[in-house]
Structure 1
């Protein structure tokens, strides 16, 4: 592209120089020739008037007297009646420019000048025109190279940006070039890069959340299936199978919620539910895991609380906190319920070392972990809590106390006139 731009610009300049240069040469040549002829005519008339003046004054007319009236390259012949022609100057060789003038006393003056003087002036003019044309060509080449670089380099950058997008690098460059059309393309590519970056981030986040949130229900389901394989009691098998079916329903709810959050992480389906039921369900699911490591999990506090939220999401939040205590905590894990203002609070605490002082509130940030875990669980739990209008906080670092705050009042419903009309 750079070469084509230079060639096209140079071709345009050469055509312009050819058209205007030839016209200028023709005009200048004619002008110089006409000027030379007018000069010779003027010299002939001037010399004739001098001769007239001397004849009228009765003075003699000779070559010696008039030789200073003729230049070194000029020649004149004066013909006076009844006298020998008078020649002044050197007769030129080759082509000449001549003019004849007649005086009032009957004399005739013929003035000549060699045409080489015209040729020299035309040559000088052609040389000047040629130099100007050469300078114009050089300036055109430099300008063409500059413009080609100005246009080709941004296109190369934009092509590299598009290639990076295609290879999975969605970082926008935010680079502009001062050319409106190219800047528009750069804007579109940067917008696409940001959009692709958000999509890739959402996909990676969904994959990480899915792997983390599905692990807990699958672990609980696996434990129930192990209980079934280790017993021959039909009643126990029936009980464990019922619990396993409940785990499958929770697993389905987790998958649906993951897909919903992938579309809109702030979309909740809050309802009023029995908080005790969710807590008891979590206790039943996690007791086998805690018994396996010689620890206990208990609940206390205010009973028969009703809260507003998504039961499945609240269960996932509590499961994340309980699993966190199982992995990083110590001693007995306690779930305490209480009421503060218009909120129901579920506190999860254990007897372990707690949250390191250097983490503090950053414990809820993604990839932040103090003990070689994924750093996703608490971040996902906070997102789930906030999706239904609740919040998850670290109330105390040592020993650790996490608080899940849920509203006890259902959100106001939109009036009927505000609901969208379905057609």
Structure 2
């Protein structure tokens, strides 16, 4: 590209110099010749006047004085008389290489002034050489500007190519480079925006992998517990059948969790909130987590208003309650109480325990991603809040010590807020 810019600029400069320089040279040559002829004509006219004045004053013409006054001129003066009077001053230029102008008066005086054409031609050549030098300087300046311009264009293009190569290799950091050229700056801005989008996509993929591993762990834990119950009750067919059915339910929940995570990864999770039975979801969760709490020497109990219905999704609410129970099992202490209540604006499910609770410095950040007060991943409460928001509800920490979390759901009559929302980040 640089070579093309240089060659094209040089061609344009040569054409411009030829179109301007050649006519300028012709005009300058003619002007010099015309100026020399005009000067000779003026000298001949002036000399004629001087000769006429000398005749009136009856004074002779002094050739030495004329030669001093009209240097480098060959002068011929003829006066009518008997015999004719002729005065010649200077050296006659070579024949065919001279410029001549003459003048005459009615009194019979004839004056001819000549000069060597070589002096005029030398002046013409000097002016033409000056024009050629200026043309060469113009070409040099054009080439220099072409080099500077080509570097100004090619270096940013090479830089943009390197940035694009980095994007293709996975380095999605915006360069923030600007070059002072509107078109190139536009390309740089587009690449920066593409880098930002690619970085966001990569972050989402990493978050999805992290979220998937966390969300799948809870159903797998429940499934493991059910299988352990089956093994422990191998000699009791009735219990084996019940635990086997519970394990099947856990496997179905695991499939639902995978589907929801995939939808969230594509950012296409639509809230399909509908009227659900709160007691059914809570009974199922308590039934799943009761064995784990019993092994830890703790209990889970349901209290509050029964027979409540809310607008939510069974899978989403189930994952929220499951995350809260798991959080209480890992970080809480004492019995866990799940309390349900209702008001005009919302259906409230509160999960509380009697453990040490959450420290004051951690409480404001408990829902932030990767924030954990123990050895956890710091993702459970973040995902639980996102799932609650996806159904049009919200999850809040209502008391840090002992810890108490509340899920606020829309009542059945609140149909107007049934809208499409994004899934968990």
> Does TM, normalized by the shorter one, top 0.5?
yes
Higher relative CO (CA 8 A, sep ≥ 6), structure 1 or 2?
A: 2
Which moves more between the two structures, 385-394 or 352-361? 352-361
Is 2:40 the partner of 1:79? Answer: no
Task: Give me the whole-angstrom Cα distance separating, in 2, the residues matched to 1:65 and 1:14.
Answer: 52
Of the candidates 205, 208, 217, which is equivalent to residue 206 of structure 1? 208
Shift, 1:184, TM fit: 4.0
Structure 1 moving runs of 4+ over 6 Å: none
Taking the aligned partners of 1:352 and 1:126, their CA distance within structure 2 comes to 103
What SS does the corresponding residue of 1:298 show, helix, strand or coil?
Answer: strand
Corresponding residue for 1:336? Answer: 339
Assess, with a 3 A threshold, how the Cα gap between structure 1 residues 408 and 284 changes in structure 2: closer, same or farther.
same
Please give the per-residue CA displacement for 1:123-169, whole angstroms capped at 9, x wherever unaligned: 43234323432442343234334433443344234323322322223
Per the TM alignment, residue 389 of structure 1 is displaced from its structure 2 partner at its CA by 1.4
Q: Structure 2: which 5+ residue stretches go unaligned?
A: 418-425
CA distance in 2, matches of 1:250, 1:16: 80
- 2:55 maps to which residue? 55
Q: How many positions carry a matched residue from both structures? A: 413
Does 2:20 correspond to 1:17?
no
| Corresponding residue of 2:421 | none
Cα gap change, 1:65 to 1:302, in 2 (>3 Å): closer
CA contact (8 A) 2:67 2:73 kept: no
Question: What is aligned with 1:418?
Answer: none
- How do 1:317-336 and structure 2 match up within 5 A? 317-336=320-339
Tell me how far apart the structure 2 counterparts of residues 126 and 65 of structure 1 sit (CA, whole Å): 36
Q: Which residue of 1 aligns with 2:420?
A: none
Q: For 2:399 and 2:30, how far apart are their aligned partners in 1?
A: 104
Structure 1 residue aligned with 2:362: 359
Structure 1 residue corresponding to 2:348, chosen from 345, 350, 367? 345
**Could you tell me which residue of structure 2 aligns to residue 420 of structure 1?**
none
Aligned to 1:223: 225
Q: Is the 8 A contact 1:266 1:386 kept in 2?
A: no
Corresponding residue for 1:244?
Answer: 247
Question: Does the aligned pair in 1 maintain the 2:263–2:269 contact within 8 Å?
Answer: no
Tell me the equivalent position of 2:34: 34
Normalised by the size of structure 2, how large is the TM-score?
A: 0.87
> Does the 8 A contact of 2:78 with 2:111 survive in 1?
yes
Question: Shift in Å at residue 215 of structure 1?
Answer: 1.0
Instruction: Give TM-score, length-normalised by structure 1.
Output: 0.87
Matched, 1:89 2:93: no
1:296 offset after TM fit, Å?
Answer: 2.9
Which range moves more in the overlay, 282-291 or 238-247? 282-291
Superposed CA RMSD in Å reads: 2.7
1:308 aligns with 2:311: yes
Task: Provide the C-alpha distance between the structure 1 equivalents of 2:175 and 2:118, rounded to a whole number of angstroms.
Answer: 68
Say yes or no: does 1:289 pair with 2:292. Answer: yes
Residue segments in structure 1 that go unaligned for 5+ positions in a row:
415-423
Once residues 359 and 121 of structure 1 are traced to their aligned partners in structure 2, the CA distance between those partners, rounded to angstroms, is 95
Q: Distance in 2 between matches of 1:65 and 1:188?
A: 86
Q: Is the 8 A contact 2:338 2:352 kept in 1?
A: yes
